């Protein structure tokens, strides 16, 4: 039985996306005349999609017309400055192989392309699954993904991977508990990859997991 590895994007394949988003938001706030600024850590905890982030970070903030388009444009300009591939990830992807790798992300497909280009990881995946661009489950909003909703979103995408590769063993690789919960809900295997220093310290054995899953694929 073939193994198909469903890779998470941010924090697993790439680093710096939170810094790029914070820089874009701060440039927007500055241009709109606001003195407030946000940190990458705040952006990371605020959800996915600019509407969700605005509601969490600045509940009283009223965006101007065209704010979402402006923010995405600013984000595209910041991505090449900050986004890079995680150390060692190119070797792991090469071991797994393009035909056995798919990408699962809550980012927009257009932004996924920008992330992969900046990290020099283009052409590494057989298929890309993006919940913000593809068909959504009933009742799920396109631009309002709060942190607590991420497992349901990803479980939906993992289900699509299973449907597309019915004869394969699907293994999800991610860096967050939400990834693990999503994999469990989709009834597929999960391998945690701790790239942040505190995760390395808590789970040093995870250093060995990525090469191990690559070797088994």
**Longest Cα separation, the chain:** 58
* Domain 3-16+83-216: assigned CATH number: 3.40.50.1000
Higher pLDDT, 130 or 22: 22
Q: Which residues of 142-159 are buried (b: 16+ CB within 10 A; e: fewer)?
A: eebbeeebbbbbbbbbbb
- Residue-wise pLDDT for 38-73, tens only, equals 999 888 777 667 776 777 787 777 766 688 788 889
**Distance from C-alpha of 182 to C-alpha of 172, rounded to nearest angstrom:** 9
Token pair of 6, please?
């469903």
Q: Are 27 and 93 in contact (CB under 8 A)?
A: no
Q: If residue 84 lies in a helix (H) or strand (E), which one and from where to where? A: strand 84-85
Across 105-109, 123-127, 177-181, least confident range: 105-109
State the pLDDT at residue 168: 92
- Residue-wise pLDDT for 172-198, tens only, equals 999 888 888 999 999 998 888 754 344
Phi and psi torsions of 54, nearest 5° = -60, -45
Token pair of 183, please?
């994999």
Q: Which of 172, 140, 179, 143 is nearest to 50 (CA)?
A: 143
State the pLDDT at residue 162: 95
Domain parsing of the chain, residue ranges: 3-16+83-216, 17-82
Can you tell me the mean pLDDT for 4-14? 93
């Amino acid at each position: 039985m073939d193994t198909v590895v469903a890779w998470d994007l941010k924090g697993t394949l790439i680093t710096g996306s939170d810094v790029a988003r914070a820089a874009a938001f701060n440039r927007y706030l500055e241009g709109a005349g606001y003195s407030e600024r946000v940190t990458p850590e705040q952006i990371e905890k605020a959800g996915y999609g600019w509407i969700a982030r605005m509601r969490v970070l600045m509940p009283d903030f009223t965006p101007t017309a065209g704010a979402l388009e402006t923010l995405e444009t600013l984000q595209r300009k910041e991505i090449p400055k900050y986004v890079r591939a995680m150390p060692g990830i190119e070797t792991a992807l090469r071991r797994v192989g393009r035909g056995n790798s798919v990408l699962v992300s809550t980012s927009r497909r257009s932004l996924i392309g920008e992330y992969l280009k900046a990290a020099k990881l283009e052409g590494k995946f057989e298929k890309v699954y993006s919940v913000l661009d593809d068909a959504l489950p009933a009742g799920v909003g396109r631009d309002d993904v709060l942190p607590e909703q991420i497992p349901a979103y990803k479980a939906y995408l993992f289900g699509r991977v299973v449907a597309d590769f019915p004869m394969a063993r699907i293994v999800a690789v991610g860096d967050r508990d939400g990834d693990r919960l999503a994999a469990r809900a989709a009834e597929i295997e999960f391998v945690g990859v701790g790239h942040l220093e505190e995760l390395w310290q808590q789970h040093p054995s995870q250093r060995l997991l990525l090469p191990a899953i690559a070797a088994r694929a």
